[in-house]
Structure 1
């Protein structure tokens, strides 16, 4: 899991996100957001911090999920990363 967390952190930082970020916290937030959701595609908003909104574009499947695009709206600007791109 540590490698997954580092990958999440790297993708977010590479998008220009200016704040400290925890891949584990993002992963946990996603898991909380999709709990109980049926299979399908969703756009989910999360107030990640007091002044930050994360917008997740997620496909939920039986035993897993795919995070496509993550948009981070902050006072410093809007940052976006596509997790489907290498």
Structure 2
């Protein structure tokens, strides 16, 4: 799992975002959010701090999920992280 968490963090920092992130926290938040959800595509938002907002697009399948993208909105900027490419 550590490799997955690191991958998430590296993709985020490659977008130019310089704030603090935790791949483990992002993964755990997604798992909590999609628990008991039907299969399909979902977009959800999470406010991290007063000036940081995460927008996730997640595809939920029977036994897994796909984080398609994450947009981090901070200080008037949007950092788009595409996990499908």
- 1:50 positional shift: 3.1
Q: For residues 10 and 44 of structure 2, what CA distance do their matches in structure 1 show?
A: 21
- 1:51 positional shift: 2.1
Q: For residues 28 and 76 of structure 1, what CA distance do their matches in structure 2 show?
A: 26
Gaps of 5+ in 1: none
Aligned pair count reads 85
- 1:23 positional shift: 0.5
- 1:76 positional shift: 5.5
Q: Calculate the TM-score normalised by the size of structure 1.
A: 0.91
- 1:56 positional shift: 0.5
Who is 1:67 aligned against?
A: 67
Who is 1:47 aligned against?
A: 47
Q: Aligned ranges for residues 1-86 of structure 1 at < 5 Å?
A: 1-75=1-75, 77-85=77-85
Q: Calculate the TM-score normalised by the size of structure 2.
A: 0.92
Gaps of 5+ in 2: none
Two-structure CA RMSD over aligned residues (Å): 1.1
- 1:48 positional shift: 2.4
Deviations 1:37-73 (A, max 9, x none): 1100011111123321111011001111001111001
Name the SS of the counterpart of 2:57 in structure 1: strand
